[in-house]
Amino acid sequence: MGNSGIRKLWFLDSPVETPFKSIHEINVIDINKSEESLSQYKGQKVVIVNVAIDSPELNDQLNYLKSLPYQVLLFPKCDHTFTYKQIADKLQGFKVYQKVELNGQFTHPLYKFLKRQTPQLYDEKLANGRQIKQDFCKFLISEEGQPIKYLLQNEKL
């Protein structure tokens, strides 16, 4: 950690800081293809979840997420099987954003930030953090836009 409290990566023996200090500095595209800032969630605890539309556990997971006292933001995994309309229909009642890559070269900036700030996923030698290997992983985010907790698929808040 540097003086800013932001975790650094190392490249050629030099530290590289993430360009974001909180999720509130990150813009995303919603399911209707409109860009919006996550700064609208300042002052609120939110839960960010990667969703698998084709999972047999989808309905159980959605029912659990509806019961939470937080704003829930869903990010469908990058699966080209479903159209945005099909995704919107299956995820009615939730705030749904664009399909995203969670791992690899094209990891979405939000997930890069989350993985760099979460001890279970942070690795100073991996630019995009450790891999998220399960669907329905949850990040609990503080009112200040910082990850508080990372939970696997069947872990409850």
Using CA atoms, how far apart are residues 1 and 21, in angstroms rounded to an integer? 13
Region 7-29 average pLDDT: 70
Q: How far is CA 33 from CA 29, 62, 98, 99, in A?
A: 6, 22, 7, 11
pLDDT of residue 51: 94
Region 44-61 average pLDDT: 94
Query: Which token pair is 113?
Result: 């930030």
3-13 pLDDT tens trace:
344 444 444 45
Residue 146 has pLDDT above 70, yes or no: yes
Residue spans per domain, the chain: 22-151
Q: How far is CA 50 from CA 8, 10, 19, 99, in A?
A: 24, 27, 22, 9
CATH 3.10.129.10 is held by the domain 22-151:
no
Q: Look-up: residue for tokens 């939730």?
A: 94
